[in-house]
Structures are given as structure tokens and as C-alpha cells.
Chain A
């Protein structure tokens, strides 16, 4: 499997009233051809900014990409002209957002929104585009597609709108889809439908996907590899199986432990991560997670850990105590 997208030391800053915030602080990760990779973390951790930076959709003057490279099929997207970038967006790399209603144009028919991109990117006739639009709707499970093409977004339910977004994303046969919290706004049963649809289509069409989410359950079911982000940095990465079975960063461990699980006996009490996420304008020299960390040692407050390999298989963790974490976990597990 070749590498499709390689993000190297990407750094994106925002100017806020409180000072300059590094929303993404030297992050590096990659997506292989046809692979599904997850970026996991809580609000403000930089996961959405990472995706927007790849598409060069970070809005100046407040936000700007100050460093790094985004290699897509070997070309650095950050070095492309605006015109060349427009050829990539929507055609080679497509995006699906959390709230489909705000990312669809309310005054254009469903058909027009689908055919616009087809005509621009693929240079096909309106008639061909219309036919392809009908096929796309059928492919994402929207029945009666002829009639549906003439309707408007407000006539679609939330689940149908997200199907429509997926159809738009797939329209030009992209090789990568960036899906930013694609099912967070949907009901549980509809969420299951949409995720199964995305999984099925990505396999069938061999599209690579980057799923951005805070939901650890979604990640477990749908991602091949996982990057965990905290305060603008990646703190742990591994295959989904390895990361869940053997978490080696206290933040990942804390996230996994804090959620109640239906497959386990009910616990008398939940194990939250204490404290609050840090103010990104006031990050110190040490590990950003240290103030909330149950495993911190003196070094954590003064020196920021880098991602280092843990075992094999590409599992990396940015924690001074990573090597001792499994023993510490076993001890605390025995204590409870």
C-alpha cells in the first residue's frame, strides 16, 4: 500500500484576543491508499484545523499555516498555486462536514449542487452530469432519485442530507475523503446507517478516508489506524487494535476509561480525567497533559516529550512514562 497523503510538521496558528494559538503544532501523520485513518481528540485539540489546513481552508488573516508540508501523491499542496489547489479540492480530496445543513446551499436544488462540481471538475455536459447525479443518489441509498434531484436541502431529513453530502464528496471519484465528525449531529440509528454506508463505499471504491471524531466507539469500528491529539499535538498513534488493547499515553488511557461501556459490567463510578483542557495561549515548556495526568513525574513539567516508538507496528507515544505505563496500569487495575 502506497502513501497517499503525508503531513509533515504542519503548524497552523490563529491570532486571538488572548494571544497567538498554535492549533496544530508540528503535527505529522499519513494516510495510505484506500486506508481509513482517524484523528481523535476533544474540542480545541486541533483535529479539525489539521483537516482544514490540508485543504488550505484556514481563513486569513486570523489563521495561517506557518510551517510544514502536505504531500499528496508526492506534491506539496502548500506550495501549489490557488488555481492548482482548486483542481485538488472537491476533485482529488473531498470533504464531509458535521452539519450538512450549513454546508449545503439552501437555495440551490439538490441536483444543481451535485452537477455543479461534476461540470466544473470533469467537464461533462449538463445532461451527463444530471444522469451521474441520479446514479450518485442511488449509490448512497436515496431512493426515487429523479424526484429527489429537484428538491431542496430543507426537504431532506438530517440523515438524507448527510447521504447527499457523501454523494457530493464521491461525485468526482476522489482518492481521499476528509470526514469531520460526519455523524455527530445524527441520531443513533441514523449514525449507524451512515457509518456503514461510508465504510461500504470506501471499501468498494477504494477511497482513503480521514475520520475526525471524538467518539472512541466510531473509531474502533471504522478506523485502521488512529492518531490521538491533545492541545495541538499528536500524543499517540497506532493501529486501532494495538491502541485500544495497549494504550501507552495517559490521555488515551484516560479517554478509554472515562466512557461507560455497554459491553462491560456497570461500574459503581466513572473514572474521569480530572481538570480542564489547557488554555492554548499559555502552554508551558512541558507536556500539555501533565497538569491532568495521574502518571506525571518531575520531568513532565519542564520538558516536552516527543513521539517515540513503543514496541513495533508503528505504535508511537509522546510520554516520558510510556514504557512504565503498562506496569502502572496493571497496578492501578489490581487496586480497584
Chain B
């Protein structure tokens, strides 16, 4: 296999949802949840995908997993375009791509024990057909995520939030995936537990050479875990580059505003800090603004921004931003 080729390449991904116009009326319309998004992830890398609710970051993840079929564009994983594959052909690919959800409570079956939850994918994919070996593998996986063998007999409701997220991680690991999509994996957890889970994700990445797409809204957490970061706004990537460039020298006014909005846990620093508080709210993806979708809230917008859709262009080497003023 060519090791320079990215593990995953998303090319011009578009996902539209049709809403309204049904039995209960309402104006029919098209939500442009993801609007021409392209990026790639190399093997062993973590790409952070940040943005506020409704920006399309979760839909992007679901399209990669083929849980949503894209409206247009290609999802090239290990050299194959998944959008051209049927369900039967997709099944072996799904083994290679796993997902960890925000709320482990609602993504674990409450009637199954932890052992059954982790064993299920091993049986479904025929990875460990023998039940005794499967139990041994479950114990090993529990150990990998920092749980004890006796946790296998517990039910999800008997665990704490952090322990449940560990179960979700063990289930994802069970099938030995290459890519894990982490969709807000720590945002529902308590502060002291978040750091435990992030350290665990980093350890597992080092041990198994995992590749992560880390979807989150917490910019401090994303900076900690990501090698590269993409910022989304209203279905589009507005900036993408390596971690250091994004946090040290952001180019897009939306990225700058996001960074400025994060409160810093130091009262002395906060007292001196000037904040860019964005006015207004994220517009509806049903009826996005003309030109640059960010222009109605942008502190530096000029007339041209209203009419011209900015292209995501390379402004510094390896640093792309979609702003005509950048």
C-alpha cells in the first residue's frame, strides 16, 4: 500500500436535506447541511473538526461513515470511493471505520451487559466466532480502556459517565478499525473525567496507530488532541491548517472570534483581555446569506463579501482560509 496516500479523502462533499412540504405543510426547502467540503486525513493523524451547532460537522462524520448517503461528492477511504459501494460491499469497510458518540448512555443498549455490548461486533463481523475466545477478548479490551474484568457483567446504568464512555471506546476498538470518528466524545463528561478520556484516546492512538476525526466545539480540547484543524461554519470549511498555525496565527475572522470567545480560567488575564463578541446568530442553513455566509456577523466585512463567495485558498503554505480579506 502507498503510505503517502491519505487514509481518508473527502472530495467536494455535499449533503442536502429536504424539509417541509409534507403532510403538515410548512414551506418546502433544502437545508444545505454540508456544502462542498473537501479535506483529507493521513494515517495516524488526528484532524479536529470544529464549529457551532448546525455547522455540518456531525453530518460530515455521518456521510463519511455512509450513515447518510452524500448528495454529491466522494468519500475515498483506503483508495476506494465509498459512495459507489452497495450495502454488501460496505459491510467489510464499516469494520475499518468506527464511531464514538457524545452521550454514551444513549448509544449503549440498556438491556445488554457491558460484556455483551463489546462482544456483539466481534460476533457480527465474525472476527472471534468462538464464545470463550470472545470473552477473553472482551476482558482484554476492558483492560485496554482502563476498566476491570468484572465490569463485563454490569449494565450501562450501573456505570458512571466516564466509565460508559470507556465502554463505547472498547466497542469501537473491538473490530480493530483504522479510523475512528469521535463525535464530541468528552463534551457530556465532567471536567475531571474529560482529561482521563482524552489521555486514553491518545494512548490508544499511539498503541494501535489509529486515525481520528475529532468532531467537537471545545477549541481548547481540539487544540490539545489535533494535528490539524478544520473550522466549519454553515456547511462550509472556512479555515484548515495545522494546529500551530490555526491557534497561533488564525486567518479567518470567524476562527478569530471563536478563539476570542473561549473564556480562560485565570481572572487576572481575563480582566485585561479584549474580546471580540460576535453579534447576531448563525443564520439558517435553509436560507443561507449570499456571498460569504459569514458576512452578516463578520466584524471586518466589506461590500464585496455580500456578493462574492470566497474560495478556500492557500494563503500561507499549508494554511487555507475562505476569506477575500485574509
Contact = CB atoms under 8 A, between A and B. Distances in A.
Interface of A: 42-43, 157, 159-160, 187-193, 195-196, 214-221, 240-241, 244-245, 254-256, 258-263, 266-267, 269-274, 276-277
Given A214-B191, A263-B269, 9 more contacts: A188-B52, A189-B52, A189-B261, A217-B263, A220-B270, A221-B264, A221-B270, A262-B219, A271-B195
B84 interface: no
A193 B262 contact: no
Interface in B156-197: 160-163, 190-196
B281 A266 contact: no
B162 A276 contact: yes
A266 B259 CA distance: 15
A232 B165 CA distance: 25
A261 B221 CA distance: 8
A262 B264 contact: yes
Contacts of B199: 269-270, 272
B247 interface: yes
B4 interface: no
Interface in B259-297: 259-270, 275, 277-279, 281-282
Given A190-B281, A193-B278, A277-B160, A217 B261 contact: no
Nearest to A257: B195
Contacts of A267: 224
B53 A187 contact: yes
B134 interface: no
B191 A258 contact: yes
Interface in B240-268: 243, 247, 257-268
Contacts of B52: 187-190
Contact of B223 (A220, A241, A262, A272): A262
Contacts of B162: 276
Nearest to A194: B277
A77 B244 CA distance: 54
B277 A188 contact: no
A263 B281 CA distance: 26
A263 B266 contact: yes
A6 to B, nearest CB: 24
Given A255-B192, A270-B195, A272-B195, A261 B264 contact: yes
Contact of B265 (A254, A259, A274): A259
Contacts of A256: 265
B109 interface: no
Residue of B52, B162, B193, B267 with most partner-chain A CB within 10 A: B267
Contacts of A188: 52, 217, 219, 258, 261-262
* The 9 A-B residue pairs with the shortest CB-CB distance in the complex, in nearest-first order: A217-B263, A272-B195, A273-B192, A187-B52, A42-B190, A270-B195, A260-B224, A216-B265, A258-B195
Nearest to A196: B277
Nearest to A256: B265
Nearest to A268: B202
Interface of B: 52-53, 160-163, 190-196, 198-199, 202, 217, 219-221, 223-224, 243, 247, 257-270, 275, 277-279, 281-282
B261 A191 contact: yes
Contacts of A244: 265-268
Contact of B266 (A42, A220, A270, A276): A220
B27 to A, nearest CB: 14
Contact of B192 (A191, A245, A258): A258
B76 to A, nearest CB: 31
Contacts of A214: 190-191
Contact of A272 (B196, B247, B263): B196
B193 A261 contact: no
Q: Name the residue in A195, A241, A272 with the highest tally of chain B Cβ atoms < 10 Å from its Cβ.
A: A272
Contacts of A193: 277-279
Contacts of A240: 267
A260 B191 contact: no
12 contacts: A188-B258, A193-B278, A216-B191, A216-B265, A220-B264, A221-B264, A260-B223, A269-B199, A272-B193, A272-B194, A273-B192, A276-B163
A195 B257 CA distance: 15
Contacts of A263: 264, 266, 269
B71 to A, nearest CB: 25
B192 A189 contact: no
A263 B262 CA distance: 10
A159 to B, nearest CB: 6
A259 B266 CA distance: 12
A215 B195 CA distance: 14
A218 B247 CA distance: 21
A164 B261 CA distance: 22
A253 to B, nearest CB: 11
A215 B261 CA distance: 13
A190 B282 CA distance: 9
B263 to A, nearest CB: 3
Contacts of A43: 161, 190
A118 to B, nearest CB: 27
A254 B264 contact: no
A270 B268 CA distance: 23
Nearest to A191: B261
A196 B275 contact: yes
Contacts of A276: 160, 162-163, 193
A244 B268 CA distance: 9
A159 B281 contact: yes
A219 B257 CA distance: 20
Nearest to A251: B192
Contacts of B221: 260
A219 B191 CA distance: 14
Given A217-B264, A220-B270, A42 B217 contact: no
